[in-house]
Amino acid sequence: MPELPEVETIRRQLEPDLCGRRFEAVEVLDPYFAKPASAGALESAASGRSVIDVGRRGKYLVFELDDGNSLVIHLRMTGSITLLAPDGTASPGDARIHAPGDPEKHLKARFTLDDGGEMLFADPRRFGRGFIAGPEALEAYFDSRLGVEPLSPDFTVEAMAAMSAGRTGPLKSFLLNQKGVAGVGNIYADEALFRAGLHPLSPGGSMKPEHHRALRDGVVEALQRGLDLGGASIDDYRDARGDTGSMQNEFLVHRREGEACPRCGEKIVRIVVGGRSTYFCPACQKRLRRRPRRLARQGGPGRS
DNA sequence: CGCGCAACCTGTCTGC
DNA sequence: TGCAGACAGGTTGCGC
């Protein structure tokens, strides 16, 4: 569920209320949450520590602690974080209320704050993870998994060209690979490709300079739109206040199979790419040829 | 190294 | 109503 816009929305809500606060108590209710480390290790490393900063890298939330270590949380598919006010105010999406059946069935971790508030992590599908890491280990962890931050100045047309060069896999898979652009998931990959006018099955390396720019811009615009709307709530997603986002009301193609393309009116099609549902407009998003056009002759404008 | 796909889990919805 | 099967925002590991 949560991709960059959703995670960033949560981060922005947590930051002002969490910075300067101390984790009075930390309870890991499901050992899966702390895997591969132990629940006890996470509890003891985080409890008693104050939060210096709340950051984000790709889809990871990073709570920087006062001892130099960081608590890192990834929501994966269905994880959610809910911040409860000191007075115990239960917001509409309160994980304990939202969960069907047993009120605490999906609650996986509880971080009690020194002002009486609570940060709750819930996750019905149990894919979400939390761990503690020192600065060097954390840098190595992210460096080995994540590429450029798409909303940073580093995400240039040149960067897009470099990371896609020579790739034979489909553009959709390329966007989902976090080592290229960090933070794009299934929703925003479809939206970005539509905005760029690119076919999800076109090979990454088939893009020409104008396509590099179009895709870079498409990714930025799709993510920024999602951020402006507080994320997309298809099913489970709620922000840290328990509210839904509204990006789902403005999907251009994602989950709109059979509906009219907002640009040309053609019916939107659903295919499966890399095991993931993929939606696009067959009229607006034409496939590119296998390889980029070569210079016609040896004597052409050379590479100086 | 790049790529495709199964696996990890649980819940919900659809079709028979 | 019951039940099998498909599908769901992500990432990792394995085989080729």
* Interatomic distance A125 CA / B12 C1' (Å): 12
**Is A3 one of the annotated active-site residues of the chain?**
yes
Domain containing A11: what range?
A: 4-145
Give the percent of chain A with pLDDT over 90.
86
How confident is the model over A67-80, as a mean pLDDT?
97
pLDDT at A246 over 80: yes
pLDDT at A42 over 60: yes
Given this model, what pLDDT does residue A299 score? 35
Clarify whether residues A76 and A100 are in a common domain. Answer: yes
Clarify whether residues A92 and A196 are in a common domain. Answer: no
Q: Is A108 part of any domain? A: yes
Among candidate residues A12, A22, A276, A287, the one labeled active-site is A276
Torsion, Cα A34 A38 A44 A46, to 10 degrees, reads -20
CA–CA separation, A51 vs A9, rounded Å?
18
B strand bases under 7 Å from protein CB: 2-12
CA–CA separation, A57 vs A175, rounded Å?
16
CA–CA separation, A85 vs A283, rounded Å?
50
Q: Pick the last residue of a domain from A145, A168, A198.
A: A145
Given this model, what pLDDT does residue A303 score? 35
Clarify whether residues A246 and A182 are in a common domain. Answer: yes
Clarify whether residues A92 and A187 are in a common domain. Answer: no
Q: Which has more pLDDT, A290 or A115?
A: A115
Clarify whether residues A23 and A117 are in a common domain. Answer: yes
Given this model, what pLDDT does residue A194 score? 98
DSSP-based three-state secondary structure for A103:
coil
Given this model, what pLDDT does residue A87 score? 78
CA–CA separation, A42 vs A40, rounded Å?
5
The model's confidence at residue A235, banded by pLDDT at 50, 70 and 90, is confident
Clarify whether residues A39 and A66 are in a common domain. Answer: yes
Clarify whether residues A113 and A17 are in a common domain. Answer: yes
Given this model, what pLDDT does residue A91 score? 60
Q: Is A152 part of any domain? A: no
Q: What DSSP designation does A14 have? A: H
CA–CA separation, A174 vs A254, rounded Å?
17
**Is A59 one of the annotated active-site residues of the chain?**
yes
Q: Is A285 part of any domain? A: no
Clarify whether residues A49 and A161 are in a common domain. Answer: no
Q: Is the pTM of this model over 0.75?
A: yes
Domain count along chain A: 2
pLDDT at A99 over 50: no
The model's confidence at residue A291, banded by pLDDT at 50, 70 and 90, is low
| C-beta neighbour count of A150 within 10 angstroms | 25
Q: Is A49 part of any domain? A: yes
Residues 177-216 of A with CB under 7 A from strand C: 178, 185-187
pLDDT at A207 over 70: yes
Give the percent of chain A with pLDDT over 70.
89
Among candidate residues A11, A56, A59, A238, the one labeled active-site is A59
Report the residue count for chain A: 304
| Residue A101 φ/ψ, nearest 5 degrees | 70, -135
Q: What is the CATH number of the domain that holds A199?
A: 1.10.8.50
Residue range A107-160, pLDDT digits in tens: 999 999 999 999 999 999 999 999 999 999 999 999 999 999 999 999 999 999
CA-to-CA dists, residue A73 to A122, A296, A303, angstroms: 12, 51, 46
Clarify whether residues A94 and A162 are in a common domain. Answer: no
* Interatomic distance A263 CA / C14 C1' (Å): 42
Q: What is the CATH number of the domain that holds A138?
A: 3.20.190.10
CA-to-CA dists, residue A191 to A54, A102, A215, A226, A267, angstroms: 28, 37, 10, 10, 15
Q: Is A275 part of any domain? A: yes
Q: Is any atom of strand B within 7 angstroms of residue A276's beta carbon?
A: no
Clarify whether residues A124 and A255 are in a common domain. Answer: no
* Interatomic distance A121 CA / C13 C1' (Å): 27
Clarify whether residues A13 and A137 are in a common domain. Answer: yes
Clarify whether residues A173 and A112 are in a common domain. Answer: no
CA-to-CA dists, residue A90 to A75, A119, A244, angstroms: 21, 12, 15
Which of the residue ranges A159-173, A185-199, A278-292 would you say has the lowest mean pLDDT? Answer: A278-292
DSSP-based three-state secondary structure for A260:
strand
**Is A2 one of the annotated active-site residues of the chain?**
yes
